[in-house]
């Protein structure tokens, strides 16, 4: 029970369960108040020719109350779990209120359209009640979405943030030893890829659709791998092709030297991820890069975007490598 209470917003849970029940009870009470003025049976579906289907008063009120409760619970309960984002919980709380009120409005419009009639065949859905009630349902739903305060609790993410803040407080140089960098090819390269793949695929669409799809897919993959994400911290260097495929993972202790250079991609085998002799490279274009000499004699080359970012990346790698050697870490072979 304790784990359940820690995983849900208890106030929101009480409202999510109680509001549809109270709304359904109010609908049933009002329906019985106007019962003497309603025909028997009641119309429940209409066509262009008039009422088409009928049901007893007890069935209409019972089914209507159950529908209000089911719809309200189905939407409002989505705002209860604390694991969901606060914005999503606000939206679901507002949507649940609107849906519950809208269902009640439709049922009320059905009953009001039959008041004073002895035969439900001449009845209709009251448009005024439907329009006014629907407008109120939407407006109150917006208000609920804005005023509902999602109950935020301390989470695992908060523990991680607190631990990182304490580490930065105890070690002011920690922030200097961390670099996050995205690099990508020049825009002209992507234009060239588009011309080489999209235009031919447009012509092939009529004759060979599957080949057009294959050509576009190859072009998108080639464009994706001309992006790279570089991450450096005190543990070492990690490089991700296309932002998520890890192609380099070098421990800090294995780094012998890091030098900023202006390189030509052709000297390292071309653009993208390449293994050329004892050199591994991920170059999205020719230009500023960082060349890393490993303790085992291998060499790495990574694009760095600009000369300034190349210099910063090289300095950070040299600093974390020196720190790892001072701490006596063993280079990974």
pLDDT in tens, 64-109: 899 999 999 999 888 888 878 888 888 898 999 999 999 999 999 8
Confirm whether 206 is domain-assigned: no
Confirm whether 47 is domain-assigned: yes
Confirm whether 207 is domain-assigned: no
Number of domains the chain is built from = 2
104 and 171 co-located in one domain: no
Confirm whether 199 is domain-assigned: no
Q: Count CB neighbours of 176 within 10 A.
A: 13
Confirm whether 246 is domain-assigned: yes
Tokens of 179: 């670099």
231 and 311 co-located in one domain: yes
108 and 242 co-located in one domain: no
101 and 141 co-located in one domain: yes
DSSP state of 306: S
Distance CA 124, CA 112 (A): 9
178 and 295 co-located in one domain: yes
25 and 61 co-located in one domain: yes
142 and 174 co-located in one domain: no
127 and 43 co-located in one domain: yes
Confirm whether 63 is domain-assigned: yes
Q: Give buried/exposed letters for 52-64 (b at 16+ CB in 10 A, else e).
A: eebbebeebbeeb
Parent domain of 69? 2-147
pLDDT digits 0-9 by tens, 36-67: 888 888 888 878 777 778 888 888 889 989 99
Look at residues 147, 177, 205 and tell me which one is the last residue of a structural domain: 147
Longest dimension (CA), the chain: 97
pLDDT digits 0-9 by tens, 104-158: 999 998 888 888 887 778 778 888 888 888 888 888 888 888 888 775 656 666 7
112 and 245 co-located in one domain: no
Q: Count CB neighbours of 2 within 10 A.
A: 6
Confirm whether 173 is domain-assigned: yes
118 and 6 co-located in one domain: yes
137 and 65 co-located in one domain: yes
Tokens of 35: 């019962």
- Computed over every residue of the chain, the mean pLDDT equals 84
Confirm whether 306 is domain-assigned: yes
128 and 277 co-located in one domain: no
């Amino acid at each position: 029970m304790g784990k359940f209470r820690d995983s849900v917003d208890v106030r929101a849970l009480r409202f999510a369960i109680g509001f549809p029940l109270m709304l359904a009870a109010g609908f049933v009470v009002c329906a019985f108040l106007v019962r003497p003025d309603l025909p028997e049976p009641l119309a429940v579906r209409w066509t262009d020719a008039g009422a088409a289907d009928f049901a007893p008063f007890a069935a209409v009120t019972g089914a209507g109350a159950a529908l209000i409760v089911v719809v309200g619970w189905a939407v409002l309960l989505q705002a209860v779990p604390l694991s969901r984002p606060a914005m999503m919980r606000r939206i679901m709380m507002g949507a649940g209120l609107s849906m519950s009120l809208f269902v009640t409005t439709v049922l009320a419009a059905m009953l009001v359209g039959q008041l004073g009639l002895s035969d439900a065949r001449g009845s209709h859905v009251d448009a005024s009640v439907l329009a006014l009630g629907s407008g109120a349902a939407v407006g109150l739903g917006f208000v609920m979405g804005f005023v509902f305060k999602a109950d935020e609790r301390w989470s695992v993410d908060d523990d991680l943030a607190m631990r990182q803040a304490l580490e930065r407080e105890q070690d002011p140089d920690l922030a200097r030893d961390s670099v996050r960098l995205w690099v990508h090819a020049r825009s002209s390269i992507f234009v060239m890829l588009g011309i080489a793949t999209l235009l031919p695929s447009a012509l092939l669409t009529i004759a060979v659709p599957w080949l057009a799809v294959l050509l576009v897919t190859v072009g998108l993959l080639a464009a994706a791998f001309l992006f790279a994400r570089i991450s450096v911290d005190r543990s070492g260097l990690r490089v991700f092709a296309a932002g998520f495929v890890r192609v380099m993972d070098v421990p800090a202790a294995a780094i012998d030297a890091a030098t900023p250079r202006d390189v030509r991609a052709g000297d390292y085998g071309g653009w993208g991820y390449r293994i050329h002799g004892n050199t591994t490279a991920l170059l999205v274009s020719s230009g500023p890069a960082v060349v890393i000499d490993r303790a085992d004699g291998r060499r790495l080359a990574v694009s760095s975007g600009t000369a300034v970012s190349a210099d910063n990346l090289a300095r950070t790698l040299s600093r974390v490598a020196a720190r790892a050697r001072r701490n006596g870490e063993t280079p990974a072979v």
